[in-house]
Structure 1
């Protein structure tokens, strides 16, 4: 079992504020790149009843995410996958996020730009 709530350097209080600021609605679709142990998606599912898909390249993190979701009765999909090769149709999600994981789209100064460039087409107009 992995004890971390999130893999990034984000406090519990800051994460709670992120969730509070979101204006999500039941059944909206959320995509989380570099989801780690899945805590953010699980909490979004618990609060807003969204449909969630999380990907991470770590088998251990995805296994932990699935364990947490099942233990809490949260219907969230977690997939071990590489962000750059994971196939998703355009306009598939209402929200795409990549918190502390822009390295999934490359290293160095272009990582953030690459993450935004590859994630924007995944979001529905107005998402």
Structure 2
């Protein structure tokens, strides 16, 4: 995997945000996040009203490792996290990029702020030295 983003539809979320908006979060998560319990804690630290989900599917047939669903400015935002199973890649074990969706168009800075909060909480909870 490189951090290439798959263009894949998520039911109920017609807007998919581009790769540039998740670039920093990809790098933080790739080096640190390895379990769904921690992902849920990260999501709750950003907002106590987050919904954490396991194994959601996109229309390209990919089953995601975990997802965080937020209400932001009257819209629903889904942040889907891939599996970390690409053992041979020198840069990351992530199968693909994190994907971000919403049920209606939001300003890039609003979505970017949410993703930076997730990155910050990830860095606080999982030290880089705990890499597997």
TM-score by length of 2: 0.27
Determine which structure has greater relative contact order: mean sequence separation of CA pairs < 8 Å that are 6+ residues apart, divided by chain length: 2
Q: Which has the higher helix share?
A: 1
